[in-house]
Amino acid sequence: MNDITMRAITPVSWGGPEVLTTVELPRPVPGPTEILVKVHAAGVNPVDWKTRSTGGFGMHGEPPVLGYDVSGVVEAVGLGVTLYRPGDEVFGMPEFPRQAGGYAEYVTGPARHFAHKPAHLTHVEAAALPLAGLTAWQALVETAGLDAGQRVLIHAGAGGVGHLAVQIAAARGAFVIATAREEKHALLKELGADEVIDYTREDFTERLGRSVDVVLDSIGGDYGARSLQVLGAGGVLVTLPSPDDVPAAEEADAHGIRTGFTLVEPDSTGMRALARLTEEGRLRPVVETVLPLERAADAHRLGETGRTRGKIVLSVTTD
């Protein structure tokens, strides 16, 4: 039995941010094809507080250690691992949608769910990338097939997924339209948005008409049905929050629009693509707030306001 312990954050029950508690748990041991990572920083995502509130993806029993995004240093490797060795800096989103346990000093996961951390990024910056970055990459590039010259509408453009999606779309040569409050427009222009719409003052459907090829909806609710109104024939609507937010197929089919729900998957190939974009200067994570691990509850409170720009990150070990 492993008697080496680590600090970790776990909910004592499902509920509000106040249920998050710092505990001492046994340090995990890497199994075959896995690596043990000493976590320097952990990203905070909406799925974290959804899991904290209700148990997330149907999880039951003992509340888990929360967190998916991590950046850190390989401490040990399991049987058969050849991609990494102790001392390597890595980042990733291991095990999703199962809990990775990123809100902890150590985490294990399949070696191929990680990638080498770009040397020019800090661990805090790298921890902001995996889940949100892969979500944007897989939705825009692999699902929608976004190409140069196409017009893409990205809702919540300044959010965790949105601000990375804006940059990925711009890097692919698309004409990028984003929705956001006016105070975030300057940031979005800086990140590569060609047009920004203040959704509190203007109806994007009236402004755009049927002029858009791809819509990325990370908001849900009526945004899916409204987004159908701006897509031309052959357009694609990618929905992120829930399958329940995908508009009725009949309406989409009537206009030749493809719709669907996308759930991000761990993918080292996608991670390496994101890393290359950062190295080329075409992608940078915006980190609005960094808090120590023990203040995970405050990070959730801040995130649940829905008003943050970019990402919130927990500092676990000094970078």
pTM of this structure: 0.95
Q: What does the pLDDT look like over 140-195, one tens digit per residue?
A: 999 999 999 999 999 999 999 999 999 999 999 999 999 999 999 999 999 999 99
Q: What does the pLDDT look like over 190-236, one tens digit per residue?
A: 999 999 999 999 999 999 999 999 999 999 999 999 999 999 999 99
Q: CA-CA distance, 21 to 29, in Å (whole number)?
A: 23
138-160 burial, b at 16+ Cβ within 10 Å, e below that, comes to bbbbebbebeeebbbbbbbbbbb
Q: What does the pLDDT look like over 231-258, one tens digit per residue?
A: 999 999 999 999 999 998 888 988 899 9
- Taken in order of first residue, the domains within the chain and their CATH numbers are 5-129+285-315 (3.90.180.10), 132-261 (3.40.50.720)
- Tell me the HSE value of 33 on the side-chain side, using a 13 A CA sphere: 5
Residue 76 burial class via C-beta count within 10 angstroms: exposed 0-12, middle 13-18, buried 19 and up: middle
Give the pLDDT score at 2.
64
Q: Return the CA Rg of the chain.
A: 20
In terms of residues, how long is the chain?
A: 319
